Amino acid sequence: MDVDAFIAVHRSDWQRLDELVGRRRLDGAESDELLVLYQRVSTHLSIIRSVDPESALSGALSTRLSRARTRFTGARSNTMEDIAQFFVFSLPAAFYRIRWLTVVVGLTFVAVAWLYAFWVGTPGVIQALGPDEELRRYVEEDFVDYYSENPAASFAGLVWTNNAWIAVQAVAFGVTGIWPVFILYQNAQGVGMAAGMMASYDRLDTFFLYILPHGFMELTAIFIATAAGLRIFWAWVAPGRRTRAAALAEEGRALITVALGLVLVLLVSGLVEGFVTPSGLPPWLRLTIGFLVLAAYWAYTLILGRRAVAAGHRGDLGAVDRGDAAVTA
């Protein structure tokens, strides 16, 4: 068989099949045409496979048929539409549903951190933490140098991966009800003790200047992750009218959405920590940038999230993707 002649004769059918598959919507006639072309190109593929099953043409026709099959069986194939669905509906809905728990977690963190800072500042405690020269070196040099001892890009990447790993753990092990609380307590303890040491040496202004620009969003991300983990724990303890398995499955899918979103949120805070916190920008500008990042998150969550939840979204997968059976009359 002359393959070149075969291609020349049938190329128009293949191109038309590609055109129909690529369209966002098809009317009735175009849908019928798509099915006819699918059957026709299937025949073409059978002929080519009988002659040369390993040829590039065989592979190309198989790919065309796979895309066409996906289209008329109803599976989504528009990647950009899926991405938009995630960022406009699924992610803000998932954030919105845990907004109050996020605030409670944040207030708890601040309270624990403040208690540790107060404790470190009490007489005798600061001396027990180490020799005066070591503590003075920490508050006068090490605390600030931490943010600039590595190149900004590599430091931002290191911070991002570390914090994303912490956030994913809080979500993934949230069902235990213990691990998220432990992570929150551990971080609050570290921040509180650092604040107490800096305050003891009259460097509290330096502490806030180097913590808040990125900390506004970074710490909020930890609060979100902890809230997400506790949400799935509560779904296990008190599933309501759902079965425990159904509650865990639904909340688990929604909170994996949170985990994916936090990877991006922490990327932003990592960039701020790497490029803004140690920069020579005026203090007020560094703090303003950090606050604007935090404000952008809450605007995204409260505005888009409220609309998404009102439209029935919960951050879960769609009915088809989660395997729900269709009910037919």
> Residues in the chain with pLDDT < 70?
1, 72-79, 150, 155, 316-329
The pLDDT, as a whole number, for residue 84 is: 83
The conformation of residue 138, written as its DSSP 8-state character, comes to: I
Residue 317: per-residue pLDDT: 54
By three-state DSSP, how is residue 275 classified?
A: helix
Pairwise CA distance, residues 166 & 180, whole Å: 9
CB 206 within 8 A of CB 284: no
Predicted confidence at residue 321, as pLDDT, reads 45
Using CA atoms, how far residue 198 sits from 72, 216, 278, in Å, is 64, 19, 17
Specify the pLDDT at position 75.
Answer: 52
Q: Which amino acid is at 149?
A: E
Whether 297 and 265 have beta carbons less than 8 Å apart is answered as yes
Please give the Cα distance from 76 to 321 (Å, whole number): 10
Q: Side-chain half-sphere of 1: how many Cα atoms within 13 Å?
A: 12
**Which of these, 119, 115, 112, 314, lies nearest to 226 by C-alpha position?**
112
CB atoms within 10 A of CB 277: 27
Name 250's Cβ contacts closer than 8 Å, sequence gap at least 6.
235, 242, 314, 316
pTM over 0.85: no
- Separation between Cα atoms, residue 293 and residue 266, nearest integer Å: 11
pLDDT at residue 316 in the model: 62
pLDDT of res. 325: 40
Count other Cβ atoms within 10 Å, centred on residue 9.
11
DSSP state of 316: P
Most distant pair of Cα atoms in the chain: their distance:
95
